[in-house]
Amino acid sequence: MANNVDFVRFFALRFNGAILTLIYRVQFLIFQTKGKELVYLVIQESKKDSNVVTFVTPNISYFTEQKYLTDAEMAFLFRLSTVLDAENCINREGNQYLTQSKLAQRLEMSRETTNRLIGALERKGLLKKETNNNANSKTAQYKVFVNPNILFYGETSCAVPLFIKHLFAEPVRNSIMDKLPFKV
């Protein structure tokens, strides 16, 4: 049951592998659950398009079972989902790539913590850094990409650019990454 619904656009959110469809630009929604409880969901109206990031929950569950990621690394991946763009890049702002210091500022974290977590996730095969050769810059700038087997920008794995799939196609020499239940 929905009240005051503006049927403008739909987008999908994924939770525990199931797809939950919500209505975009909704003022107020009431969902009837199986019992007598009501779940209220309030979504603020936004003038820009909504961005959907999909977490590949079978792989996240697998990482949890294998104790592959620390709590800090898992939280950092969740935080990275807020800055992910359509090419699965986490540190692009406009046409420029942020230094790790600026990325840390954007994520409201210390530079040391950000660098440590990026390095750890890169060693585990969940992030990849590529040097951005910009002659005008005095500091090293890297393009940092997220492995689409853990999270990607868009609603379906078809949205993942082909070059990102190829970038992460190389084996990581890691038995846990080789046995992922779901490959994009």
Give residue-wise pLDDT tens across range 148-163. 989 888 877 777 888 8
Q: Which amino acid is at 28?
A: F
For tokens 């109206």, the residue is: 45
pTM above 0.75, yes or no: no
Report how far apart, in Å, the C-alpha atoms of 155 and of each of 23, 46, 51, 130, 175 are. Answer: 15, 19, 9, 26, 28
Token pair of 179 as six digits: 């046995």
**90: closest CA among 147, 165, 155?**
147
**Same domain for 136 and 100:** yes
**Same domain for 97 and 161:** yes
Cα–Cα dist 155/54, whole Å: 6
**Same domain for 72 and 34:** no
**Same domain for 13 and 83:** no
For tokens 């990026």, the residue is: 118
Q: Which residue has the higher pLDDT, 75 or 36?
A: 75
**Same domain for 94 and 152:** yes
For the residues of 142-174, what is the DSSP string, one character each? EEEEE-TTTEEESSSGGGS-HHHHHHTTS--S-
With cut-offs at 50, 70 and 90, classify the pLDDT of residue 138: low
pLDDT on residue 137: 62
Q: Which residue has the higher pLDDT, 81 or 113?
A: 113
Q: Residue 130 sits in which domain range?
A: 53-178
With cut-offs at 50, 70 and 90, classify the pLDDT of residue 112: very high
Reply yes or no on whether the pLDDT at 127 is more than 70: yes
| DSSP structure class, residue 2 | E
Q: Which residue has the higher pLDDT, 66 or 13?
A: 66
**Same domain for 169 and 79:** yes
**Same domain for 120 and 89:** yes
Which residues touch 183 (CB under 8 Å, ≥6 apart)?
149
| DSSP structure class, residue 134 | -
Is 98 part of any domain? yes
Cα–Cα dist 77/150, whole Å: 9
Token pair of 125 as six digits: 């095969």
**Same domain for 62 and 30:** no
Dihedral over Cα of 2, 52, 49, 84: its sign: positive
Q: Which residue has the higher pLDDT, 134 or 62?
A: 62
Count of domains observed in the chain: 2
Is 119 part of any domain? yes
Cα–Cα dist 94/82, whole Å: 15
Is 183 part of any domain? no
Question: Could you give the 3-state DSSP secondary structure of residue 130?
Answer: strand
pLDDT tens-digit readout, 23-51:
433 334 444 444 444 444 444 444 445 57
**Same domain for 93 and 7:** no
With cut-offs at 50, 70 and 90, classify the pLDDT of residue 114: very high
